[in-house]
Each structure stands twice: as structure tokens, then as C-alpha cells.
Structure 1
Amino acid sequence: MVSTKKKNQPASTGPNSKIVVKTKRHTHIFKSDDIVRCESDRNYTMIYFSDGKKMLSSKTLKYFDDHLTKSGFLRIHQSHLINPDFMTRFENGKNTGSVTLSDSTSVPVSFRKKTSIREFFELFEMKYTNYE
């Protein structure tokens, strides 16, 4: 049976989804859950993993945005895509904001994305607040 999946498509969507990343010499398959964030560097993307490792991909951030938002990732800035499972704090500044991740990295939130991040935290709070 021949697969009709496009090249570099994720194996699935949802919490156990995977993404294929080709580098110059290797093809890697990663669980989206293992990715903390992706940061744009022009036409390249630096991928940061939960084990502290990082990898430079020749794919643009748009490629990762197209594939990882299906797994719940959030595009919070022109240069940043994050896994919300690793968010620990949101700072709401006057014009922009920032999100702190579990590895203590602070990532900027653009003015346009502040409202959606704030709403995400409010929904999270409502879901996990204990009303005893």
C-alpha cells in the first residue's frame, strides 16, 4: 500500500503526534510533546527540546507553525512558537508581554497575541482551579 501523505507531514495530530525534520545528513522524527519551543532565525528554525538539547533546521518557522499548531502549539510572536505545556508564567506588559517556560526561558509575546495568551491562561485557570 502506498502512503498518500505529503513529504514532511506529521505522523498524527494530538498529544502523541510526531514531526519529521530533515537536516543536511539525517532525517529525524520527534514527538511534538518533546519540543518546548521553536525560534525563527531568518530561513532557519532553532528547535529546543525538553531534555535541554537543541537542533537547527533549514525549515522556516511557518513550516513548524503549520504542523505543530495541530498539536496545540501557540504562535506567540513572529519569531516564536511554543508548546503551552511548558508555560509557567505570563507577564502582561503595557505594549507587549512575555511568557516564561519551564526551563526559565523568557519568550516575548507580540502585542497582537497578548489577548489570546491571556485568554489561554484564563481558560487554564478555570479548568484547574479547585473550588472546594
Structure 2
Amino acid sequence: MNLPIQTNFLFSSKRYGREKRTIIFLERGKTEILIDEIVMCQGEGNYTFVHYKNGSKRLFSKTLKQFCELFEPHDFVRVSRSFLINLRYLKAFSTTGEPCVIMENEQKIDIARRRKVAFQNIIRQFTIKSIA
């Protein structure tokens, strides 16, 4: 049985009250994700681990690039080839010496050299947006 092409890719997010939710259509059904609960996404080839704030993680058979396209409008930023982080769960960061971020779950993630300047610009914009 051939499934419609849209069932193999990430679908756009919806807004329910204050919570942002995203529905991901998979080959065997659909999965609903609360965007506000995601701390980071970790890419492993054609698979992505989604790490939640309660400490759990879930494996999806989608690339990190697909998650980037879906989550970047929701204050997520890609800091390296393997990591997409939620800026709302950013605890600390350093762009001097060895650039890295520390998430609220105490995980340290290195920032790629080529993404350092873009990360600094995104942090400035996020800070301005958060204050306003």
C-alpha cells in the first residue's frame, strides 16, 4: 500500500492555547510532540533523538535537517552538525576559547567554529525578543 507523500515528512505545527504542538506523520501513524517540552535534538545519521525536559528521549527516523526546518521558527538553533538546541533551555554559553553551550539538563555541547558568529547573532535577537 502506498502512503501519501506527506506521511513521510514532518508536518507544520499547530497552536493550542499556550502550548505549541507539532504533529509528525510517520509510516505507521502520527505522533504529537509538545515543542515547549523539547530541550534539544541530537542527529545520528538518518535518525534523530529528541530530548525532553523530563529527561526522556525518543528516536525518530527523520534527519536533523528536517527537524531544523520545522523547529527553527520556534527559538531553536543548530549549533553543530549533530545538535539542534532550544534557546529557552539554554543555561549558559561561551563563545571565547572553546565555544560551547550548557543546557538546563547540564549537558555541554560544543558550538561548531563555522556556526559561532551566526549563534552570537541569534542569541542577540533572542535576547531582544525576550525582553520586549
Global fold match (TM > 0.5):
yes
Tell me the residue number matched to 2:14.
12
Aligned AA (1:61): L
Count of paired positions: 121
Q: In structure 2, the residue corresponding to 1:51 is in which secondary structure? A: coil
Task: In structure 1, list runs of 5 or more residues that go unmatched.
Answer: 1-5
The percent identity for this pair of structures is 22
Does structure 2 retain, via aligned residues, the 8 Å contact 1:22–1:57?
Answer: no
Give runs of ≥4 in structure 1 deviating > 4 Å: 22-26, 125-128
Q: 1:106 aligns with which of 98, 108, 120?
A: 108
Q: Find the aligned partners of 1:26 and 1:53 in 2 and give their Cα distance.
A: 21
Q: Find the aligned partners of 1:34 and 1:127 in 2 and give their Cα distance.
A: 18
What TM-score do the two structures reach when normalised by structure 1?
Answer: 0.77
Does structure 1 retain, via aligned residues, the 8 Å contact 2:51–2:57?
Answer: yes
Q: Find the aligned partners of 2:128 and 2:28 in 1 and give their Cα distance.
A: 44
Does structure 2 retain, via aligned residues, the 8 Å contact 1:21–1:57?
Answer: no
| Cα shift at 1:99 | 0.5
What TM-score do the two structures reach when normalised by structure 2?
Answer: 0.77
Q: Find the aligned partners of 2:119 and 2:91 in 1 and give their Cα distance.
A: 12
Task: In structure 2, list runs of 5 or more residues that go unmatched.
Answer: 1-5
Does structure 1 retain, via aligned residues, the 8 Å contact 2:11–2:25?
Answer: no
Structural RMSD (CA): 2.5
Tell me the residue number matched to 1:97.
99
Q: Find the aligned partners of 1:24 and 1:108 in 2 and give their Cα distance.
A: 34
Seen in structure 2, the aligned counterparts of structure 1 residues 43 and 98 have a Cα distance that, compared at 3 Å, is same
| Cα shift at 1:97 | 1.3
Seen in structure 2, the aligned counterparts of structure 1 residues 80 and 51 have a Cα distance that, compared at 3 Å, is same
Does structure 2 retain, via aligned residues, the 8 Å contact 1:43–1:58?
Answer: yes
Q: Find the aligned partners of 1:24 and 1:105 in 2 and give their Cα distance.
A: 32
